[in-house]
Structure 1
Amino acid sequence: MRGPMVESVVPFAILARGASRNRPLICQHRAAGEATVLHDAYETIGDPAAGPFLFTCEHAARRLPEWQPEPADLPLLDDHWGWDVGAADLTRELALRCGSGALLSRFSRLVCDPNRAPDEPSFVVREIAGHTLSWNRAVDEAERARRRARYFEPYHAAIDRALADRVAAGPEVRLCSIHSFTRLFDGRARAMEVGVLYDDHEPYAQRVADALAREGFAVAHNEPYSGLAGLIYSARRHGRAHGVVYLELEVRNDLIATAERARAVAPRIARALAAYAPGVSAISRSDSGPAGA
């Protein structure tokens, strides 16, 4: 059954550019849950070769495809160690509202981390706070390579294909990686609600940050992690490989911890992302002003 009809908040002119006359209507009114394709390592939503954005979500799932966790493992799988709480629901909503495609991982970051380079020690985490994860207890280099081939590479190959198709089809596309972070860190509350992470594209990041502030969010640049420190691996890898503008959004997970909360927050973030869409100059700052302006 088709889901509820949702109107896109991205300007029609942006959606329509480079598409057939009928495509904008499909993008503006795509039903929730429609055109979702599941693969072992990733999930595709909508048509990644259409729309002004390609969304990715590297930490979308807490799924262990091949392993049965021990009871002591479960709390770690369920919290931020295992996945980015709420990020998958938010990514789906943004793809829907922005008339764009999305690619989401279908394996826990504790299998292997699709937002880390494979040669990094944190690509496969054995131990968390003194607890050894049961499925990572005996991981050696051969097992790291096997997981890379089975999960990491198919996920990133899908992003590569989607961006190659989208760039070839034209017009421009923006890459946006969606993540979430915890409200508490080392026992202290984080006041920020959304972080805009970037390295090469500060003018675009500034536009998005300004637009998010106008939507009422407490915004920070390159927090709680920094793109300048190499902590946006996936967005940077694919953005640079395909010559597209890229950034990562980190949303505080208490704001999107349930599907209902993600649906409530998504329209505000989607409106802010309109400032990042192709066809909107990164230099013009006429829309920058105080929150609520």
Structure 2
Amino acid sequence: MSHQAWHDIEGADPSILLIADHASAFVPEDIDLGIDRNLYDEHVALDKGVETLGEQLCQTLSCRAVFAAQSRLVVDLNRDEDDFLGLMPAVSDGYVIAGNTGLKAEEKEARLARFYYPYHQHIAEVIKRQRPTLIVSLHSFTPCLKSDLHCYRPWQVGLLYNNDDRATQIAIPLLKQAQLVVGENEPYSGRILNTTMNRHAEKNRIPYLLLEIRQDMLTEPKEIGRWCQILENVIKETVLSLKNRK
């Protein structure tokens, strides 16, 4: 069945490109993951709250965006091609994903060809047509992993990066001014997991903000609206600062 691996939002301001790798929980009808339907509403399937927040940011910033159009359980677009355990996980946060168990090499390659390669090729083409000043990669994380009930994630927002922290170091003090608990390379490190930004931002020497927002603060429309207002200001100030440094 035909299914495009992404959907775009067009915007008048070419200086900002927003990317959401885990915005959707959609699973095509011809792929059976063999899991309880309730899991499609959990973080193992998508980054909760990101699609709504991303759409609102695009509206307020008038920026372009590329949103993934299928679940990370179909294929995780923010994993390297050789990360066979992470690309199509057989187990995610303690949940067994039966439909990803025992996948043959040709089955994995078919999913990559159908979703992964077109998605990243499209982002590359968008950047080539109009190079942005800043890329914003939008994610959300859980207050605690269900597979590790002793974990402690106090950060309200985390900023991740690998080698290029130009935009991050501009944004951190701005987020702290908003009275937020900010993590740098938390709740995990961008030096370990940063595939989409490595590929499209760092490789092209484009500054970026990889934002991880704690999911329990993205459950209500009012909360999402507050985050949209905060991030709108931070992103605008970051772009202005980057342009002034040129």
- After TM superposition, the score normalised by the length of structure 2 is 0.88
Greater C-alpha radius of gyration? 1
Change (3 A) 1:199 1:279: same
1:154 is aligned to 2:118: yes
| Aligned equivalent of 1:255 | 217
| Aligned equivalent of 1:165 | 129
| Aligned equivalent of 2:56 | 93
> CA offsets, 1:193-252, max 9 Å, x none?
0001112332421110111111221111000011122x1110111013433112310000
C-alpha contact 1:197 1:223 (8 A) present in aligned 2: yes
| Aligned equivalent of 1:139 | 103
Cα deviation for residue 278 of structure 1 reads 4.9
> CA offsets, 1:117-171, max 9 Å, x none?
121021111134665323223411101110001011111111111111112xxxx
State the alpha-carbon separation in 2 of the partners of residues 69 and 280 from structure 1: 43
Kindly report which structure 2 residues correspond to 1:189-204, keeping only aligned pairs within 5 A, or say none.
189-204=152-167
State the alpha-carbon separation in 1 of the partners of residues 95 and 225 from structure 2: 35
1:80 is aligned to 2:43: yes
| Aligned equivalent of 1:184 | 144
State the alpha-carbon separation in 2 of the partners of residues 137 and 101 from structure 1: 36
Number of matched pairs: 239
Query: Which shows bigger deviation, 232-241 or 198-207?
Result: 198-207
State the alpha-carbon separation in 2 of the partners of residues 207 and 131 from structure 1: 38
Q: Which runs of 5+ in 2 are unaligned?
A: none
Opposite residue 4 of structure 2, the aligned amino acid is: D
| Aligned equivalent of 1:274 | 236
State the alpha-carbon separation in 2 of the partners of residues 198 and 275 from structure 1: 19
Q: Which runs of 5+ in 1 are unaligned?
A: 1-38, 284-293
Opposite residue 120 of structure 2, the aligned amino acid is: H
Opposite residue 177 of structure 1, the aligned amino acid is: S
| Aligned equivalent of 1:103 | 66
Cα deviation for residue 40 of structure 1 reads 1.8
Change (3 A) 1:130 1:102: closer
1:243 is aligned to 2:208: no
C-alpha contact 1:164 1:242 (8 A) present in aligned 2: no
Cα deviation for residue 74 of structure 1 reads 2.6
> 2:48 aligns to what SS in structure 1?
coil
Kindly report which structure 2 residues correspond to 1:37-52, keeping only aligned pairs within 5 A, or say none.
40-47=4-11, 50-52=13-15
C-alpha contact 1:204 1:282 (8 A) present in aligned 2: no
C-alpha contact 2:13 2:61 (8 A) present in aligned 1: no
State the alpha-carbon separation in 1 of the partners of residues 93 and 217 from structure 2: 26
State the alpha-carbon separation in 1 of the partners of residues 156 and 43 from structure 2: 16
Opposite residue 228 of structure 2, the aligned amino acid is: A
